[in-house]
Homo-oligomer: A and B are copies of this chain.
Amino acid sequence: MATVAHPGALTPAQARTMFREGTSLPTAGWCAACTQVNIITVPSDWAHDVHMFCRQNPQPCPVLDIADRGSWTTALAPGADLRTDLPLYHVWEHGRMIAEQTDVVDLWREDLVTFLIGCSFTFESALTEAGVPLRHVSQGGNVAMYVTDRECRPGGRLLGPLVVSMRQVPAGLVDTATRVTSEMPAVHGGPVHTGDPAGLGIKDFTHPDFGDPVEAEPGDVPMFWACGVTPQAALMASRPPFAITHAPGHMLITDARDTDYRVG
């Protein structure tokens, strides 16, 4: 693994092996054109609640797969181990993040159910193809994410605010970015807001709630998309006794292709 030139050129299996062996980095720009997903793992008596929350909020929480009870495998990434193959995990108890760790083998239980939720990284290859620059990738950082003042629809025992990812887009390419992402409804679809962050109740734009701040270039306009970190905000608000998630921006890289989620 030591001689790899660029993470974008890795296969998903290579990337997962690196993460399994301890590498811990945000995955934006890794494994070009391969689908990355958010995960949320809960005890089975909370699985219906997560499922309902996703059903009620398909834009931030598009469910791409659900692992069988107790299973750490997914059809989207044959050979992957959901307990070890993400670069970084967050562990939650009663709505508080109590640990950040690079695997969760020690915490796994037979009653855990894992949801794989679409990620906006999936439309980034389409944006790049359409000529829209990705500032966070060229600046070598994680995408910036913000908690908004928009409430999701409650689902089961879960409720909470919408979380968004933000990209700085040259004004002349806003329409293109809107069109390209609208063609991918299974991975958050078109933007929920474009322009002034105050429109989403974001008070401190320079300090994202998750991820890294991004430098705008002259003429850039901020665009905001529904984000798969939304279920984590719901965990904070709804306080289930136990949960595991990916750390924001540290995704599971699957063998699915981003183009699988394009319609029309």
Contact = CB atoms under 8 A, between A and B. Distances in A.
Contacts of A55: 66
Contact of A47 (B48, B66, B68, B69): B48
Interface in A200-222: none
A45 interface: yes
Contact of A156 (B45, B52, B69, B157): B69
A73 interface: no
Contact of A44 (B45, B66, B68, B69): B45
Interface string A37-75: 000000011011001100100000000001011000000
How often does this chain occur in the complex, in copies? 2
Contact of A113 (B44, B48, B68, B113): B48
Contacts of A47: 48
Interface size classification for chain A: 10 to 19
A123 to B, nearest CB: 24
A254 to B, nearest CB: 18
A113 to B, nearest CB: 7
Nearest to A51: B51
A215 to B, nearest CB: 42
Nearest to A156: B69
Interface in A135-161: 156-157
Contacts of A113: 48
Contacts of A66: 52, 55
Nearest to A44: B48
Interface in A66-92: 66, 68-69
Contacts of A48: 44, 47-48, 51, 113
Nearest to A63: B55
Contacts of A156: 68-69
A55 to B, nearest CB: 7
A113 B113 CA distance: 19
Given A48-B48, A55-B66, 11 more contacts: A44-B45, A44-B48, A45-B45, A47-B48, A48-B51, A48-B113, A51-B51, A52-B66, A68-B156, A69-B156, A69-B157
5 residue pairs, one from A and one from B, having the closest CB atoms:
A47-B48, A48-B48, A51-B51, A45-B45, A44-B48
